[in-house]
Amino acid sequence: MQSDARLNEIHRNPPDAIIVGSGATGGWAAKELAEAGLRVVVLDAGPLTTPDQFGEHVPPYELKYRDNRPNGVASPGIARSRPMQAKQGACSEVNYRWFANDVENPFTTPPTKPFVWVRVRAVGGRSLVWGRQGYRLSDLDFKAASRDGIGVDWPVNHAEMAPYYAKVERFIGISGRAEGLAHFPDGEFLTPMEFNCGERVLKESVERSFGRRVTIGRSAVLTSPLQGRAACHYCGPCNRGCATYSYFSSPFTTLAAASRTGLLTVVPDAVVSHVTTDRATGLASGVAYLDRLTRRPREIKSKVVVLCASTLESTRILLNSAPWGLGNSSGMLGRYLMDHMYGATVSGRLPKLGRARPWHGPPRRPNGIFIPRFRNVDRSHTNGVFRGFSYQGGASPRFATAAPGFGRRFKRAVHEDAFWQVGVHAFSECLPTFENYVELDPSVVDAWGIPVLRIHMRWSDNELALFADSVEEGAAMLEAAGAVDIRTADTPKVPGDGIHEVGTARMGADPKSSVLNAHCQAHDVKNLFVTDGAAFPSLGSVNPTLTMMANTVRACEHIVQAARRLEI
């Protein structure tokens, strides 16, 4: 985005703020600070993202490997460079270059504590490939510790966060239905997407038999034009890019808005190693980074540093910035790592809908259904099991593509054996646990010589109990809908596989038990902010990205006000 001359200028004339990371939170930080009149530099470890890299309209037959994924890997080349990333559904033959090279970017774990770390190294970060589900946390989540004594409360509540949620929802566009549930707060929605007939069967049965709400997903995909972006035309695989910018990703929404101010400089291929500090004051003075391609070390000074590099990467930068971690007087930096437990999948056939037809509405609707948490909503625990889980899922026609025959006989068999399938998968809340933590590996570095993380995380008995409960309840709901041949999962996914990792630099009212205050400002370093998932004191049972963005907007409002008062 920027010429060498512009880059040299920011080294000579330091900006007001440096933002590390360009994804969901980094884009919002850039937009808010630049529109307030601050000169902003955004650093990202990956290359620029441009529309010519998109491949949502590329059919499999035009691809070398036909986008096949034997054993979860799309091609030998991806398997060699991105063995962990390629196992994720979003990483494909089309977009794999956006994802981090696992060989260049290693991390370690103890042998008995496997972890999956999905990373994107391209301008836009994981906003390029995320699932786009956008939900608010409620006070059931923000004040969970007051109800059950586990962890610490967030230093904010829903009423305080509501204006920032609304600002994000209005700008990025969230389609969804208002449901009027206190523990599942409504937002400012575009027209919701429609249920298909299989989902309506499930919705009616579950609401009638259990009194539980089944709603359409709240998705950051436009159902009507907004901010110059077109409504979604349901073309298919959103994680390959979106030529109409109908789904939210930072390069073409928030970063674009920041760029229009003329106050934004984006520096791609900048691998940040640490935050620099002023020895006399202890304040952050800027960041040090290495050019991804040349390995040349560089440094940029600024008045404010905002880390938005993603949960674990921001914490890694802090750990590399001082002997025991910058801003770590509490000893909490790196602690309380959380992720949603995935793997609780239940599916079955819906014979009451008869044989599935070849076409059932718009193709590739980029959304599904959502069943809000119902466990421990009106009590602190059930039989000693705390917190809860939510479900996502949907229904779709399935065709017998492995049917026998050839030509007309094959086509007939495919449709004669077609049926409707319905399924849900649960994601359970992970409790904040001191023993789930990250630290610097003492002997392993990445391709740029920066110490990597050693990640220690395992599921607790509480998560395992929620997993079993969610499978049992999911099967009961499908049975009530008339599903048959129900199949259930029995093995949780590895921590990190939910790709909702949060914690490790948590917010809190007490500097002795938290790293950040209510404005995501480091207790120890007043001009240092961390606004991505690292700031979360607890996880809740909904997708966390909307809260990360709202939290960033709130933190940036504080930065602007403090800057105007000359406090930072």
In the chain, where the domains are located: 4-53+100-132+249-338+435-458+500-564, 180-228+341-428+460-488
Q: Is 3.50.50.60 the CATH classification of the domain at 4-53+100-132+249-338+435-458+500-564?
A: yes
User: Residue 80 has what pLDDT?
Assistant: 85
Kindly report each contact of residues 514-521 with a partner whose C-beta sits within 8 Å and lies 24 or more positions away, as own/partner: 514/152, 514/330, 514/332, 515/327, 515/328, 515/330, 515/332, 515/333, 516/327, 517/155, 518/155, 518/156, 519/554, 519/555, 519/558, 519/559, 520/551, 520/552, 520/554, 520/555, 521/555, 521/558
Q: Say if residue 229 is exposed, middle or buried (CB neighbours under 10 Å; 0-12, 13-18, 19+).
A: buried
Residue 111 CA neighbour count, 13 Å, CB half: 0
Are 382 and 374 in contact by the 8 Å Cβ rule? The answer is no
User: Residue 496 has what pLDDT?
Assistant: 98
| Single-letter residue type at 270 | A
User: Residue 398 has what pLDDT?
Assistant: 85
User: Residue 484 has what pLDDT?
Assistant: 97
User: Residue 70 has what pLDDT?
Assistant: 47
Residue 90 CA neighbour count, 13 Å, CB half: 22
User: Residue 1 has what pLDDT?
Assistant: 47
Longest C-alpha distance within the chain, in Å?
81
User: Residue 224 has what pLDDT?
Assistant: 97
User: Residue 357 has what pLDDT?
Assistant: 72
Residues in the chain with pLDDT values less than 70: 1-3, 68-77, 358-363, 401
24: Cβ contacts below 8 Å, ≥ 6 apart: 125, 126, 127, 130, 248, 250, 545, 548, 549
- Tokens representing 555 are 């933190």
User: Residue 75 has what pLDDT?
Assistant: 67
User: Residue 68 has what pLDDT?
Assistant: 66
